[in-house]
Every structure is written in C-alpha cells, then in structure tokens.
Amino acid sequence: MQILVIHGPNLNLLGSREPGVYGSRTLAQIDADLTKMAADAGAKLESFQSNHEGALVDRIQAAGRDGTAFVIINPAAYTHTSVAMRDALAAVGLPFVEVHLSNIHKREAFRHHSFFSELAEGVICGLGPQGYLLALQYAVAKLQAGQKQ
Ligand code: CA2
C-alpha cells in the first residue's frame, strides 16, 4: 500500500505565516502525523512538496510508474489554474482525494473553482490539517478493501 501526498506551492511556509487562515502546524509536522498514521495501518507514505508546476507534473507522472496506489493532493494555488497537473492525474489514472486546509468556498470567488475536483474521488476542505488525516483514513480503507478481493 503505497500512498503519495503532494503539496503544492507555498505550503512549505505553513506554520510560519497566516496561521489565522492555514493553522499553526508546519508541513513537517503534518507529514510526520501522516507518516505515523500510515505506518500504523501498514502502509508506506511519501510526501512531496514543490513550488514548481513542472516538478509537480513530473512527480505525478512518476507516481504512475513507481507503485503508488493512491494520491492525496493539495494543489494549493494550482488548484485554480493548472490544467497541466489535472491532465497528469488523468493520464496516470490513480485514485486521489483533493484536500484544502481552508474552506475555499468561503473565500474569494477565484478560489471556488478547482480543475481537480471532477476527477477526484472526494474533496475535503476547511478542516485544517485534519483533512489530510481523513483523506488518509479513506485511502487506507479503500486499499485494504481492494487487497481482500
Ligand atoms: O486551503 C488550502 O489548502 C489552499 O489549497 C491553500 C493555497 C490556496 O491558494 C488555495 O486557494 C487553498 C495557498 C497555500 C499557501 O500556503 C501558505 C501557508 C502559509 C503562509 C502563506 C501561504
């Protein structure tokens, strides 16, 4: 059970700025919580963060070849702009959940549209870092159910 977590641009700043919007946990703390939860469930989790669209596309493409079974992705600002990342996810055909820390529907109108949501198995937004843990819980349950078939 190999799960890939992808974090988009500026999420490396978590914990240092805008705690009122994005909370006070750092990306390293969020990743550590996810890694522990995955290990407890017998899954292997890798996290990848980049501020570069092409690097994110490359990592999604690699996930199609490296044994990744499920993707959890917060595309950050690319949520609202990146046809390239959406096309990469469609091309690899891996199931994914889209996560946002903030409730994008409560914010500016330009954040209301996501290029990813109609391909996602589900979308979690507004629940802070807990959203990633809920997405992981779903991924593990789905992969475990698949293994039993
Ligand atoms: O709510 C989310 O998770 C977002 O994906 C975060 C993106 C934003 O563009 C999306 O509309 C919603 C922004 C991530 C920026 O992260 C920062 C973290 C700390 C300080 C400044 C920015």
Cα end-to-end distance, the chain, whole Å: 14
Amino acid 20: pLDDT: 84
- pTM of the predicted structure, to 2 decimals: 0.97
Asked whether 26 and 68 are in contact (CB, 8 A), the reply is no
Pocket test for ligand 1, best of 80, 102, 110 (most atoms within 8 A of CB): 102
Amino acid 79: pLDDT: 98
Question: For ligand 1, is residue 50 a contact (CB within 6 Å)?
Answer: no
Expressed in angstroms and rounded, the spacing between residue 21 Cα and the centre of ligand 1 is 8
Expressed in angstroms and rounded, the spacing between residue 6 Cα and the centre of ligand 1 is 13
- Report residue 42 as tokens: 């017998």
Q: What is the pLDDT along the chain (149 residues), one digit of tens a residue?
A: 999 999 999 999 999 878 888 889 999 999 999 999 999 999 999 999 999 999 999 999 999 999 999 999 999 999 999 999 999 999 999 999 999 999 999 999 999 999 999 999 999 999 999 999 999 999 999 999 998 87
Amino acid 149: pLDDT: 72
From the CA of 15, give the closest atom in ligand 1: 19
22 is an active site residue = yes
Of the candidates 3, 1, 26, which has an alpha carbon nearest to the alpha carbon of residue 101? 26
Q: Which residue reads 């890939």 in tokens?
A: 4
Amino acid 19: pLDDT: 81
**Residue 21, helix vs strand vs coil:** helix
100 is an active site residue = yes
From the CA of 103, give the closest atom in ligand 1: 1
Pairing of strands 122-125, 70-74: unpaired
Q: Where are the alpha helices (DSSP H) in the chain?
A: 19-22, 27-40, 53-63, 83-92, 130-148
